[in-house]
Structure 1
Amino acid sequence: MENVKYNLRLAFGTGIVTLSLFLVLIVGYAQALKSYRQLSTDAVMAQTEATRLGIEQVLKSGVPLSEIAGLNLVLQPIVKSDASVIGLTLLSGSEVIYRAGEEGDKDSVIAIALNNKFSQIGTLNVFLSQDKLEQQVTSSFKPMMWVIFILLFIFIGSVLRSRERAVYLTSFSVVFFAMTVCVMMLVGSLYRDGLQSKAISLADIVSYRLSPVLEYDIGRDMITGVDSMLDHFRRANPELASIAVYKSRHLVANSIDANSMGHMIVDTGGLEYAFPTAGGGEVRLSYQAEMVIGQLAQVLKNFAILFFACGLVCFAFIRLLSGEMGKCTKDQVLERLKPLFLGAVLMESLMAPILPQFLSSVADANGLGATASSLFFALYFLGFALTLLPAARLIEAFDIRQVLFFGIVLSTVGCGLLGFSEPTQMFNVILARFISGAGQALIFISVQGYILRFSDKSNKTQAAGIIVFCFNAGFISGAAIGALLASYFGDHGIFTISAVIGGAMCLFSLILPSMKGNGGSDGTLLSNMKAMASDSLRLIKVPAFIRTMVLVGIPTKAALTGIVSFAVPLLLAEKGISKESIGQVLMTYAAIVLLVSYKVGPWVDKQGSSKTALTLGSFLAGGALVVMAIAFSMNQSWLIVLLTMVAMLLMGASHGLINAPVVTHVVNSTAQQQESDSSVAATYRFLERLGHVSGAIIVGQLLQWFPVEQALMAVAVFFVIAAVSFMVFDRQHALEAKS
């Protein structure tokens, strides 16, 4: 029996490692393909631009486009500039004057207008094939399958050599890190190859334009204007730091950007490329060091984030295999809950960087405005809020594992339905978001039920931190991984991946123990709803309760759904920010919430008052919105991302200061009422969901009425007024002093 358990652990661990390594490989492939596509397109654009200048020079002299001699010699360099070019056509009006190769997809065409002195008289269409680029990148990544096989062999071998469970975590860490380094090196190599390919294309342009000088014995003192021509070419290609043309090792002409880092390190050969030309000539060019370093830094940043995000998920599962044998049943159940709840949150958060944009496309496809987009977004939270109370009743009346399983199934179906829905199928999208919210509510209540039943004084602190940690860790991982994968798989691909994760979590939930309900000792669902309504009516008459709810609780949840989850991804996408950057901005928010939430508890206990934390949190929310308004008034993409990230840091700190202390504050503020602490906390959490549901609707309406900056500033003013009002009118300090 022991050998069977050992083999099952080994199979489970091998499966996790395999999935982790393939995740690194897929994201690396997507990053390499993205950068290689960009470099290939730049090379073709540079060659096409040079051709356009040559043709227009002839056109402006009065020669008709159809009568230009030697078009074949002029246009063929474009076809040869990159393997992705499959053909081109030269049009004069609707008449085809020249055709080479084949016409491809209209979505992959570069259209260049050709003008004479007065108007446009022709169009040059260059057709690209994305399949050829993918084939090149795929051929480079095929050897990585052997790397995965070798690393799996190392992992299995190390585990078989030792029966200690700690070997799983150690072996996984080594293998995962090794795979990440290998993929990073491969992506860097492909980027270098792309730079060289682009350099060849640029060198061909220069040698073609200077061919008379290079092929004939013309001295530098016999020609004029070549340096200015190279200056113009370098400025037209800002990635270049210098260009130099030599004839028999003698300098013919050159152009150097004196402000660039590139020419300072050309002597090292790291950024310089030299290409021979006809007639014994040579073209040497170097790239801007800032550009190359920036691109490599972007790749390294994405992989560092991927390593962290994957680590949060995979290490949670691996720890199950690395746990001590002597753990009691209660601790074992709590350990199993962590990866399951983290995976359930990951399923939903994977869609966070792309969902607002997708819902906006649904609204546009059905002839609706921005308000409808926010309504679609709010449906998830409406389903979540409406299911909370019935879910609490279900785990008392039925097997808690069955309720959890059903919740994961609902959420999975919601993700899968999005994956098979087009923007025009509005009903499917509405249904998908509502049942996803209902499913996540069932998951949340079921996990909370397991925690309550399997925690006591010995593990109460550990149990209390499971939901906070797993929710934020899942959000961090999902936002980062989803953004990195979205550029390759697309929106529907991400929805499908979320559904696959849900299916895996359905199976994983079966390792939890079956827990029969208490037989409905807490009354029927209707009686619970009446009790909650009764508690709500009594508590909203208590000034301290309603003050905290209106000034702190509901606005905070509204900011989470309306600003963080809805507006920020949508506005960043409208500014042309990449999905990777959007995911990293959202990841920043969740990471700070996790950090501050962990630290704020002891700080509040030491201060003896939660009022300070709540007031400071509200002020920080207002400050975050001010920074965000400034960010979206900028034009530079990097500055928008930087300032938005700062705003998310402040917003995350704000919510970290509020999330836990607000319940303590409400309970302490209503201590003189005839209500139990659990009743007050449950009623508050239920009413607080009004912010979840209304946040996206309110913010969406403000963005429709006002410019972005004014809408964000209006919300910021509200938070500042709410913070001042709460600070002035709340009497907690006075009450604590008397007690």
Structure 2
Amino acid sequence: MSLLLVLVVGYAQALKSYRQLSSDAVFAQTQATRLGIEQVLKSGVPLSEIAGLNLVLQPIVKSDPSVTGLTLFAGSKELYRTGTQSDEESSITIALNNKFSQIGTLKVYLSQQKVEEKVTSTFQPMMWLILILLLVFIGSVLRSRKRAVYLTSFTVVFFAMTVCVMMLVGSLYRDGLHSKAISLADIVSYRLSPVLEYDIGRDMITGVDSMLDHFRRANPELASISVYKSAQLVATSVDENAMGQMMVSNGGLEYALSTSGEGEVRLSYQAEMVIGQLAQVLKNFAILFFACGLVCFAFIRLLSGELNQSPKDQVLERLKPLFLGAVLMEALMAPILPQFLTSVAEANGLGASASSLFFALYFLGFALTLLPAARLIETFDIRQVLFFGILLSTLGCALLGFSESGEMSKIIAARFISGVGQSLIFISVQGYILRFSDKSNKTQAAGIIVFCFNAGFISGAAIGALLVSYFGDIGIFTISAAIGTVMCVFSLILPSMPGSIYRAAHGQAVESGTLLSNIKAMAADSWRLIKVPAFIRTMVLVGIPTKAALTGIVSFAVPLMLAEKGVSKESIGQVLMTYAAIVLLVSYKVGPWVDKHGCSKLALSLGNLLAGVSLVVLAVAFSQDQDWLIVLLTTLAMLFMGGSHGLINAPVVTHVVNNTAKQESDSSVAVTYRFLERLGHVSGAIIVGQLLFWLDVEEALLTIAAFFVIASVIFMLFDRQQRQGAHE
């Protein structure tokens, strides 16, 4: 799957750049033809009386395989037609003018299918390379069951595939640059044809250098352009600020093209353009390697087949890839879902802010299912509950894939069903961990949820963002549903474990309480605990705002606002990936630190303060105009937000338990807290959506930032830190 992802991402990158360069080449060739025709028109010859129009127009047809035909009009009268004109959506239209007004139109038709066929034929041999590398990988893994061999083989094979695909992308990009260079050289040769075709010396003309300067500035991708006749320089224009002159002097970016007579046009491209394109490809593949590596890590112990594992450890190892895959199917949609839901709201005559309501439906379904799910795994076979949860989540993704933007009922059902499904998955995985862990591996087992959730989110956001440019929104929804289908089958390798059998095996009485009685008990616990100042203070100032920031800012507002700024979906996914990576890193480090020093209050206060800083940076980011600066500052903001949530997620439960009245059991406090903080999940997108509707983006973000800073100060001043062992 990793090798196929490399191939698809490389193919999508090559297709995108080659399409653009092909279109630019045709446009430049069309401009060259326009110059030739207008030169005749301005001498007073009517368009219909120009001789040899077919010879003048043929270079456009031959300039690129994507050109399927063209049509020349004089007013509304068709003068010339060649090829087919079926693809109306992909065409170039250029006006033809004489000295006084527009008298004609030249329309060139392009076929994107032709470009795709060219790129596809170039990439087809890569399937054989995938087969060869796969055999190499399998052979090396079968020789040893050590994880080090598995990881090394994965890395070597992945990089070998990446290098080959990058060389292919670079080759296609260079071909596109060459085609564009030919078209640009044709424009220059048309403009300087009298100098190149007749015996006119350079000292007999003026203004040629300034004309080339104007042409180079009109085509900012050019670093230099020079015209020669019989090896003698006629005119030149060079961008003195251009990078990469050493590359140009070595011929890396320079093209020499012969023109009419003994003329020659030499031009070179800006090194920044080529380096920027290669850097983008490198960044995409580096992120893809990181994302695939996380997925690989979840499968490694299961697939490497290491011996000496107890049956309990084997179940936990099977649980890792399953939970990661379940999170991955939802995270794949993260870079595109806010924009998609906004388009649904607008298509149904609702404001863009209404999309936050659709977004909150997922978390509402998730929160409402937590208690029933906990009851279900105690009553029924836990594997059946898990299977049903994955099935519901898969159905939610499939409904999105088969829904039109106007079918609001399907969208509402899809998001609510997905939330219910993910809640069943979460509770079932947690149930398996509790049943198949003991004192020797309980901490490691609990870490499965933390690692797999964050790794799944990182991988999903990164991979989804890279694939959406080729597959589109509907394609991503379909891929998510396909992953869910695979996970449904994969869940069958887990052991069947009915709740009654588990309790009997562990000497536990079969509970007779109904779901309603459990809900009443939770309501009673909630009512009792919200009267405890320390509990409600932590809930209102830390817990609920943190979850609201996750859903309202990270998952909803940031992707939506980046899309409105015109930032690519690849960059949006990479920004979200940064957040999850920092949460994973900080959470791993902060837990032992809080346990050692008993400073949960400091961690929570600092976390709130970092959230405020993050929102200030985010406000600054969305006040900028340059895409690269917006992405850079948004990434920095997500680093702060990830650090904030990493400082809060684990210590907040410790703080609540340690600072709640002694008569309350720790488990009751923790469960009630986790349930109530879901209010932040549900309300986050709605609150942020309304603020963005009422205020400017910067004002809304600064308002939320002010809340977090004030909450941090209040919490630090008024909350009392209890000794960590107060309840022991």
Alpha-carbon distance between aligned partners in 2 of 1:542 and 1:56, rounded to the nearest angstrom = 84
- Report what 1:721 is aligned to: 710
Alpha-carbon offset, residue 89 of structure 1: 3.1
Alpha-carbon distance between aligned partners in 2 of 1:125 and 1:93, rounded to the nearest angstrom = 13
- Report what 1:309 is aligned to: 291
Q: In the alignment, does 2:417 pair up with 1:449?
A: no
The verdict on how the C-alpha distance between 1:427 and 1:722 changes in structure 2, with shifts beyond 3 A counting, is same
Counterpart AA for 2:666: D
Query: What TM-score, normalized by structure 2, do the two folds share?
Result: 0.94
Once the two structures are superposed, residues 156-213 of structure 1 have per-residue CA deviations (whole angstroms, 9 ceiling, x without a partner) of: 3334545667654443333222212221221122222222222122122222322222
- Greater shift, 656-665 or 61-70, is seen at 61-70
Q: In the alignment, does 2:462 pair up with 1:480?
A: yes
- Report what 1:8 is aligned to: none
| Residue aligned with 1:251, SS | strand
Alpha-carbon offset, residue 245 of structure 1: 0.9
Q: In the alignment, does 2:678 pair up with 1:689?
A: yes
Alpha-carbon distance between aligned partners in 2 of 1:433 and 1:728, rounded to the nearest angstrom = 40
| Residue aligned with 1:106, SS | coil
Alpha-carbon offset, residue 382 of structure 1: 0.7
Q: In the alignment, does 2:255 pair up with 1:265?
A: no
Alpha-carbon offset, residue 640 of structure 1: 0.7
- Greater shift, 63-72 or 605-614, is seen at 63-72
Q: In the alignment, does 2:576 pair up with 1:548?
A: no
Q: How does 1:126-141 map to 2 (within 5 A)?
A: 126-141=108-123
Counterpart AA for 1:677: D
The verdict on how the C-alpha distance between 1:160 and 1:675 changes in structure 2, with shifts beyond 3 A counting, is closer
The verdict on how the C-alpha distance between 1:70 and 1:542 changes in structure 2, with shifts beyond 3 A counting, is farther
- Report what 1:616 is aligned to: 606
Structure 2: unaligned runs, 5 residues or longer: 504-509
Alpha-carbon offset, residue 31 of structure 1: 1.2
Alpha-carbon distance between aligned partners in 1 of 2:117 and 2:61, rounded to the nearest angstrom = 18
**Which of 283, 296, 308 is the matching residue for 1:326?**
308
The verdict on how the C-alpha distance between 1:66 and 1:577 changes in structure 2, with shifts beyond 3 A counting, is farther
Alpha-carbon distance between aligned partners in 2 of 1:54 and 1:679, rounded to the nearest angstrom = 83
The number of equivalent residue pairs is: 720
**Which of 262, 266, 275 is the matching residue for 1:284?**
266
The verdict on how the C-alpha distance between 1:430 and 1:170 changes in structure 2, with shifts beyond 3 A counting, is same
Tell me if the contact between 2:598 and 2:723 (Cα under 8 Å) persists in the aligned partners.
no
Counterpart AA for 1:546: I
Query: What TM-score, normalized by structure 1, do the two folds share?
Result: 0.93
- Report what 2:333 is aligned to: 351
Once the two structures are superposed, residues 693-727 of structure 1 have per-residue CA deviations (whole angstroms, 9 ceiling, x without a partner) of: 11111111111112211111111111111111211
- Greater shift, 186-195 or 163-172, is seen at 163-172
Counterpart AA for 1:586: L
Alpha-carbon distance between aligned partners in 1 of 2:35 and 2:699, rounded to the nearest angstrom = 44
- Report what 1:368 is aligned to: 350
The verdict on how the C-alpha distance between 1:93 and 1:413 changes in structure 2, with shifts beyond 3 A counting, is farther
**Which of 605, 627, 634 is the matching residue for 1:644?**
634
Alpha-carbon offset, residue 653 of structure 1: 0.6
| Residue aligned with 1:107, SS | coil
Alpha-carbon distance between aligned partners in 2 of 1:65 and 1:106, rounded to the nearest angstrom = 24
Tell me if the contact between 1:166 and 1:323 (Cα under 8 Å) persists in the aligned partners.
no
Counterpart AA for 1:622: G
Alpha-carbon distance between aligned partners in 1 of 2:40 and 2:326, rounded to the nearest angstrom = 64
**Which of 602, 607, 615 is the matching residue for 1:625?**
615
- Report what 2:507 is aligned to: none
Alpha-carbon offset, residue 231 of structure 1: 0.9
**Which of 146, 161, 171 is the matching residue for 1:189?**
171
Q: In the alignment, does 2:489 pair up with 1:507?
A: yes
Alpha-carbon distance between aligned partners in 1 of 2:720 and 2:472, rounded to the nearest angstrom = 52
Alpha-carbon offset, residue 607 of structure 1: 3.0
Tell me if the contact between 2:658 and 2:724 (Cα under 8 Å) persists in the aligned partners.
no
Q: Percent identity?
A: 82
| Residue aligned with 1:625, SS | helix
Tell me if the contact between 1:246 and 1:283 (Cα under 8 Å) persists in the aligned partners.
yes
Tell me if the contact between 2:468 and 2:476 (Cα under 8 Å) persists in the aligned partners.
yes
Alpha-carbon distance between aligned partners in 2 of 1:691 and 1:103, rounded to the nearest angstrom = 55
The verdict on how the C-alpha distance between 1:218 and 1:319 changes in structure 2, with shifts beyond 3 A counting, is farther
Tell me if the contact between 1:370 and 1:701 (Cα under 8 Å) persists in the aligned partners.
no
- Report what 2:687 is aligned to: 698
The verdict on how the C-alpha distance between 1:74 and 1:234 changes in structure 2, with shifts beyond 3 A counting, is farther
The verdict on how the C-alpha distance between 1:209 and 1:544 changes in structure 2, with shifts beyond 3 A counting, is same
**Which of 508, 526, 539 is the matching residue for 2:516?**
526
Q: In the alignment, does 2:161 pair up with 1:172?
A: no
Alpha-carbon distance between aligned partners in 2 of 1:736 and 1:70, rounded to the nearest angstrom = 95
| Residue aligned with 1:327, SS | coil
Alpha-carbon distance between aligned partners in 1 of 2:95 and 2:562, rounded to the nearest angstrom = 31
The verdict on how the C-alpha distance between 1:517 and 1:707 changes in structure 2, with shifts beyond 3 A counting, is same
Structure 1: unaligned runs, 5 residues or longer: 1-18
**Which of 696, 699, 720 is the matching residue for 1:707?**
696
- Report what 1:338 is aligned to: 320
Tell me if the contact between 1:256 and 1:263 (Cα under 8 Å) persists in the aligned partners.
no
- Report what 1:381 is aligned to: 363
